[in-house]
Structure 1
């Protein structure tokens, strides 16, 4: 088995707080990093992609959903010492669900549409760091 070699520089990633009927989509990661944690769908930006192109591609690949990107909701930096993984700068966007039902790829193993007001009471779910703040910021942009 070959070990995963992490780049020696930060990687740019995107994620989306997708809202549908006043609920936000959370997905559970099936692989490292963050295996078993609920988070927002998203992933790395490829060379030459705009942030919006990368976000639309990642959401389609991971969930199959059609979305409308509303705006930048915030960002988060994940450092190697904090996660045991690479160094990431994650740009998180607010988005609206437009169509299709979630069809998860092999990077994810569960999804839930959650009322943002219920996040604090979901003690049984492991959430990635900074998730609640990004969702609340995205919610303000959506206007729900």
Structure 2
């Protein structure tokens, strides 16, 4: 276990009034739907990390509008296997059709108000609501 929280990024990408969600393919949050994202690499700027992770996970390019919020990701239960501080960005889709892969078991453009009633990670509704207000 790392001695301190790790920094991660995610991106709420909007296209035609819908937000891109990815179903986690591995790790403690497997099966839950969330925003594409991952760890920030040493020396990497946060926005660059968000765009890189978006491309690596689902093959989409976007233009970041602004920071939407911060989320702490902790295990559900008593085990402390991980602790992430995730900076979530709001962005508009530019190009690329989302693809599944090793990190994303499934993908979907979802209604930002209901998130299609999917099982989602903690705080996702709040972050998507904030991001939606930023992209207008």
Whether the aligned pair in 1 keeps the contact of 2:21 and 2:34 (CA below 8 Å) is yes
Unaligned ranges ≥5, structure 2: none
Shift of 1:81: 6.2
What is the count of residue pairs matched by the alignment?
135
The reply to whether residue 50 of structure 1 matches residue 48 of structure 2 is: no
Aligned to 2:24: 29
Whether the aligned pair in 1 keeps the contact of 2:72 and 2:84 (CA below 8 Å) is yes
Note the alpha carbon deviations across 1:60-97, whole angstroms, 9 max, x for none.
Answer: 10011010011000001123565843111000000110
4+ long deviations beyond 6 Å: none
TM-score normalized with structure 1 length:
0.88
The reply to whether residue 142 of structure 1 matches residue 135 of structure 2 is: yes
Aligned to 1:99: 95
TM-score normalized with structure 2 length:
0.93
Aligned-residue Cα RMSD (Å) equals 1.5
The reply to whether residue 14 of structure 1 matches residue 9 of structure 2 is: yes
Partner Cα separation in structure 2 for residue 93 and residue 56 of structure 1: 10
Shift of 1:117: 2.2
Partner Cα separation in structure 1 for residue 47 and residue 13 of structure 2: 14
